[in-house]
Amino acid sequence: MSKHESEIVNFLKENVTPMKTVSYGTFYRASAYLTDGTYLPCVMFGNPSEIISLASRRFAETAKNAYEHRGVVESFVAKNSTVPIYNISKVELSPYAWPEETLREIRGETTMGWTAFTAKMRDGKVFGFGTRFNFEFFDLPQGYSYEDIVKINSGKIVDPTGVERDFTYYGDVHYYRDRPFFYSYSDLLPEK
């Protein structure tokens, strides 16, 4: 633990509303600059204890089946992008971390493996959004922030003519998507 890590953790605790997950603990969604100046707009900061416990349990549960065990190990070791906290020089609020209250308005899977919804903005414009699984960070139309969202309509799309309607398979519908993100862990962050 360094003084710099403490400063990052203090910023997160003072400025970012934590997001609790069922299996992985509590996370603080923010943006980060790496020590080489690289900007990461979407980073989930959390305490590693819950994910370590889950990995240990799953490794033990699958130890007798080589195929399952390999898949579980792969999911913990090679599927997520992690940045060590010592490589982070600065953190700030992420423009893509929608408030949890807004995210809770998104209800249900629209079709297997896909969730579509629309967001109505303060100025009356409506935009379509979609995700396969991730709700941690969402892209936004240029010139808008999550603070402009006044209403979420689950299971809706904006069709190619610009009309909001119930979800159907339109090949040329534009969706603002979930954004890829990185994880970074610190023992100084709360476990739960």
How do residues 68-112 score in pLDDT, each as one tens digit?
Answer: 989 888 888 777 889 999 999 999 999 999 999 999 999 888 888
Average pLDDT over residues 14-37: 93
- DSSP conformational letter for 108: S
What's the CA gap between 69 and 66, in Å, rounded?
A: 5
Stronger pLDDT, 152 or 3, i.e. the higher one: 152
pTM: 0.88
Q: Where are the domains of the chain?
A: 3-94+181-185, 100-177
Query: What pLDDT is recorded for position 176?
Result: 95
What's the CA gap between 144 and 139, in Å, rounded?
A: 10
